[in-house]
């Protein structure tokens, strides 16, 4: 029954469709296109009109179609527009060719960058009279550095403990002067960011290591530990003169010695250990000489016993020689001859 009804509807509609003229079909298509445009306008009005109006009133000129294309490219239009408005209101990046344009903001977002943080850093640098353009800020952000924190550190230098208790289990640096006395030192290093060397420059760990090495070297070259305790600023001056912030992302403002404590007299302990070692060595040599003497004495006793045995053997041969002489008659002949005489 449904098939029959559908066939009747098609049969009734076909004559009317055939009766339409070409102009009427054209008008129908035009109405469809206008309907689609009206629908698109309604969608734009619902989603982007308020944002476009905000940009227009803030003098951040932007094409309405650009907002739609941003949405199609998975870009957050609100973030881009608000960042651009922030830059324009702060008076940075106003050049339409090299400034902060919508296309450059969108490209940085698609590259994985943090657009609001970059714009905030540029505005802060502009207020502090620091030379930082969009390209450098974007490069710093894409390199993984916190560009806004870098600008803040340039304006407000921060203090680094040396050694840093968060990175090391030690709380002081240990150094020994030439007289052998140990000094335990804790220093505080004030640094600010060097924007021009932030990309590729060494981090805080390098600053801490270099400052620690410089302090230990300076104390080690001192003749007396009292000399260091009387003038702790001499350490700071010697360390600063080394240019420890070369090829780093920071510039050292000052090095302050926060605390100095006297440790062990390592020189005296080493001397005592050396004396004890020398004593043991002398005792070992004396024991060796005594053992050699005992061995020599035993050797001489053995030689005496050997000589005594030789004497006994010689004495035992005397009776044998006399008996042989009696047998040979040598003793009688000699006796007769002596009596005749």
In this prediction, residue 339 has a pLDDT band, given cuts at 50, 70 and 90, of very low
> Is the pLDDT assigned to residue 199 strictly greater than 50?
yes
Please give the pLDDT value at position 10: 45
Please give the pLDDT value at position 205: 85
Residue % of the chain over a pLDDT of 70: 84
Helix (H), strand (E), coil (C) string for 99-131: CCCHHHHHHHHHCCCCHHHHHHHHHHHHHCCCC
Q: pLDDT for 300-335, tens place per residue? A: 888 888 888 888 887 777 777 777 777 777 765 444
SS3 content of the chain, % helix, strand, coil (to 5): 65, 10, 25
> Is the pLDDT assigned to residue 79 strictly greater than 70?
yes
Residue % of the chain over a pLDDT of 90: 1
Q: pLDDT for 89-127, tens place per residue? A: 888 866 655 578 888 888 888 888 898 899 899 888 888
For 157-171, what is the mean pLDDT? 82
Q: pLDDT for 206-252, tens place per residue? A: 888 888 888 888 888 888 777 878 788 888 888 888 888 788 888 88
**Mean pLDDT across the chain, nearest whole number?**
78
For 26-55, what is the mean pLDDT? 73
Please give the pLDDT value at position 152: 87
Rounded Cα distance, 113 and 138, in Å: 7
More confident residue, 58 or 236: 236
Please give the pLDDT value at position 234: 81
For 28-50, what is the mean pLDDT? 72
Please give the pLDDT value at position 183: 84
> Is the pLDDT assigned to residue 275 strictly greater than 60?
yes
Residue 13 DSSP SS3: helix
Please give the pLDDT value at position 44: 63
- What angle (nearest 5°) sits at the alpha carbon of residue 175, between those of residues 210 and 169? 70
Are 190 and 157 in contact by the 8 Å Cβ rule? The answer is yes
Are 53 and 64 in contact by the 8 Å Cβ rule? The answer is no
Q: What structural domains and CATH numbers belong to the chain?
A: 36-154 (no CATH), 157-268 (3.30.479.30)
- The whole-model pTM stands at 0.59
Please give the pLDDT value at position 90: 80
Contacts of 282-289 with C-beta under 8 Å, sequence gap 24+, read none
For 178-207, what is the mean pLDDT? 84
């Amino acid at each position: 029954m449904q098939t029959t009804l559908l066939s009747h509807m098609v049969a009734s509609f076909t004559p009317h469709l055939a009766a339409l003229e070409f102009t009427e079909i054209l008008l129908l298509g035009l109405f469809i296109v206008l309907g689609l445009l009206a629908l698109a306008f309604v969608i734009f009005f619902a989603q982007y009109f308020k944002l476009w109006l905000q940009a227009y009133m803030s003098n951040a000129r932007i094409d309405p179609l650009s907002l739609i294309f941003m949405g199609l490219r998975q870009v957050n239009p609100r973030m881009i527009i608000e960042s651009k408005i922030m830059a324009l209101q702060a008076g940075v990046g106003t050049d339409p060719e090299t400034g902060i344009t919508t296309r450059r903001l969108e490209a940085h977002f698609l590259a994985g960058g943090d657009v609001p943080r970059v714009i905030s850093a540029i505005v802060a640098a502009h207020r502090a009279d620091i030379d930082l353009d969009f390209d450098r800020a974007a490069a710093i952000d894409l390199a993984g550095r916190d560009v806004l924190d870098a600008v803040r550190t340039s304006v407000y230098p921060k203090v680094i403990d040396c050694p840093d208790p968060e990175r090391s289990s030690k709380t002081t640096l240990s150094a020994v002067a030439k007289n052998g006395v140990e000094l335990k030192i804790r220093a505080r290093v004030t640094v600010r960011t060097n924007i021009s060397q932030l990309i590729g420059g060494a981090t805080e760990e390098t600053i801490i290591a270099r400052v620690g090495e410089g302090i230990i070297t300076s104390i080690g070259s001192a003749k007396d530990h009292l000399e260091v305790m009387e003038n702790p600023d001499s350490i700071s001056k010697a360390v600063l003169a080394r240019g420890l912030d070369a090829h780093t992302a920071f510039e050292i403002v000052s090095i302050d010695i926060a605390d100095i404590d006297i440790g062990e007299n390592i020189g005296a302990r080493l001397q005592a250990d050396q004396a004890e070692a020398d004593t043991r060595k002398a005792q070992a040599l004396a024991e060796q000489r005594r053992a050699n003497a005992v061995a020599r004495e035993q050797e001489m006793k053995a030689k005496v016993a050997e000589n005594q045995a030789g004497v006994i053997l010689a004495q035992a041969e005397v009776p044998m020689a006399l008996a042989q002489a009696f047998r040979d008659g040598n003793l009688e002949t000699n006796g007769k001859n002596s009596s005749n005489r």
